[in-house]
């Protein structure tokens, strides 16, 4: 899966910068996950930060905002709203 998020690398945690085995985090979830995958709105993060995201919601809001800003660099805000149905900014 190819991420379109600037500075995302498959061997480095997007949050802490640690190198090693990473997991893919879908920046928009639930009913929005499939579209997030389609548009590359994913980042690679270490297992620790992935657990913190899913268990405690740490960094979730910030990553949702990064996803929307990145999408809107090449698409319109209206298109984001049509596809994802929620404004994160």
Query: Average model confidence (pLDDT) for the chain?
Result: 93
- pLDDT for position 46: 96
| Region class of 40: left (phi > 0), else alpha (psi between -120 and 50), else beta | left
Overall pTM > 0.85 = yes
> What's the whole-number mean pLDDT along residues 49-65?
89
Could you identify the residue written with the tokens 């590359």? Answer: 40
Q: Does pLDDT of 17 surpass 90?
A: yes
Query: How far apart (Å, rounded) are the C-alpha atoms in residues 18 and 31?
Result: 30
Q: Does pLDDT of 89 surpass 80?
A: yes
Q: What are phi and psi of 2, to 5 degrees?
A: -95, 125
Query: How far apart (Å, rounded) are the C-alpha atoms in residues 69 and 31?
Result: 19
The continuous run of DSSP H or E covering 71 comes out as helix 60-74
């Amino acid at each position: 899966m190819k991420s379109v998020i600037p500075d995302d690398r498959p061997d480095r945690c997007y949050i802490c910068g640690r190198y090693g085995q990473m997991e893919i985090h879908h920046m928009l979830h639930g009913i929005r996950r499939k579209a997030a995958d389609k548009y590359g709105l994913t980042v690679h993060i270490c297992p620790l930060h992935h657990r913190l995201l899913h268990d405690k919601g740490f960094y979730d809001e910030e990553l949702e905002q990064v996803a929307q800003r990145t999408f809107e660099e090449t698409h319109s805000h209206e298109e984001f709203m049509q596809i994802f149905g929620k404004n994160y900014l």
